[in-house]
Structure 1
């Protein structure tokens, strides 16, 4: 029974991370931490890292801490919350940096309507070069219209 609760905790955390991502993207990245996110909305030139990459660290720190406190003195729910955050972070990296922005040339061609919809929604988000008037702040949950275009 406890294993099922751990699995459900991981799944719930993964799901909640989409809400956290939307809120963080809309109100923090496009708000008071715009100076870190701004370069992500500018036309690209050849650089390996962006200031925006700092958000990976910002999200990783709580996950690392939760892994630590969820492992000692014995395995507990905090570990599985950390696991949900980590799995969302990996998914975010694969969708955002690999599939959408092609920072790594791993999945150049996809026929998945779902993944193509995510890419289209994110491109709509990036048509705004400033922090105002943004749309499509989520990563995995975007309006259905982008999956049917």
Structure 2
């Protein structure tokens, strides 16, 4: 298959996943599956694992399914689609779980304009503890206002 098309599908999938993260977060996590997501906003548990992590697992299963379809069903687009979802999942994990929430004590000293903006936007999101009245549901691409001082 043409490498340019493969790369475009990979990049397009990665970018589309930011939209999916925003949509899922706003309308599903803060909607009918709030019961799964709310432990992420209310740290009233002693476990390192949160029910909210099930969303991450869901997208991992989608990615793995696409790899299987590529390998065993001859669905050539399964590879760039699966890799795009996987790459977004890795970026999300690095930014959200490691950088912002410090689930692993890494990347604590990142202090550039992008890091500050993403942290500020996520802090504003977590300011709202309830299901409604939230803001800033994206992860990697947040509104420009959060990058201003």
- TM class by shorter chain equals over 0.9
Q: Which runs of 4+ in 1 moved over 6 A?
A: none
* 8 Å CA contact 1:99, 1:108 repeated in 2: yes
What are structure 2's unaligned runs of at least 5 residues? none
Post-superposition offset of 1:43: 3.7
Root mean square deviation, CA, Å = 1.4
CA distance in 1, matches of 2:28, 2:65: 22
Equivalent residue number for residue 102 of structure 2: 102
Equivalent residue number for residue 3 of structure 2: 3
Equivalent residue number for residue 132 of structure 2: 132
| TM-score, normalised relative to structure 2 | 0.94
**Matched residue count:** 149
CA shift digits 1:59-113 (9 cap, x unpaired):
1111110011012354711111000000000000000000000111110111221
Equivalent residue number for residue 83 of structure 1: 83
* 8 Å CA contact 1:70, 1:80 repeated in 2: no
Equivalent residue number for residue 92 of structure 1: 92
What are structure 1's unaligned runs of at least 5 residues? none
Equivalent residue number for residue 118 of structure 2: 118
Equivalent residue number for residue 145 of structure 1: 145
Post-superposition offset of 1:47: 2.5
CA distance in 2, matches of 1:68, 1:115: 35
Equivalent residue number for residue 37 of structure 2: 37
CA distance in 1, matches of 2:93, 2:141: 15
* 8 Å CA contact 1:14, 1:88 repeated in 2: yes
| TM-score, normalised relative to structure 1 | 0.94
Equivalent residue number for residue 19 of structure 1: 19
